[in-house]
Amino acid sequence: MFPLPEPMRLALDAARRAGDAGEVPVGAVVVHRGAILAVAANAPRRLHDPTAHAEIQAIREAAAVLRRDRLEDCDLWVTLEPCAMCAGAIAHARIARLYYAASDPKGGAVEHGPRFFAQPTCHHRPDLYTGIGEAEAARLLRDFFAARR
């Protein structure tokens, strides 16, 4: 087995922490010019914020650190295919590259449902890399939902 790239390893660690806290286990990392800039875990329940998906948290933190609202020189690594809200935020932020681990047929909006980045009204499409860390990301989600049944 090949070692995972550092950003995906950190995103999976964040996903695990989310799951331990009772949140759906998803994690995200923003990388700015090769350096880790933000690491975030899914936390809508804990934060009382329906928008607090891992991607949104990581993008907001990175933008706050850089003191601007566009992240053209940043990449986003996330353990699950982004939903419509997060795909929209990725486009607004002008994220350069999007890496996600597991696909999400139920709520994903990249290869499923709205297929947001393929819409003519989408103003920015990141380069896409999928499947890195997929097995571990999917296992975290499966175990989480199995334990809740």
User: Interaction with its own copies in 33-92: which residues (CB under 8 A)?
Assistant: 44-45, 47-52, 56, 59-60, 63-64, 66-71, 83-89, 91-92
Rounded distance between C-alpha atoms, residue 25 and residue 13, angstroms: 9
Catalytic residue among 55, 81, 111, 134: 55
3-state secondary structure of 97: strand
Stretch that binds its own copies, among 8-16, 33-41, 104-112, 128-136 (CB under 8 A): 104-112
Select 64 or 135, whichever has its Cβ closest to its own copies.
64
Rounded distance between C-alpha atoms, residue 127 and residue 40, angstroms: 21
Select 13 or 61, whichever has its Cβ closest to its own copies.
61
Residue 111: closest CA among 149, 74, 89, 81: 81
Where on the chain is the footprint of its own copies (CB under 8 A)? Answer: 44-45, 47-52, 56, 59-60, 63-64, 66-71, 83-89, 91-94, 105-109, 112-116, 119-123
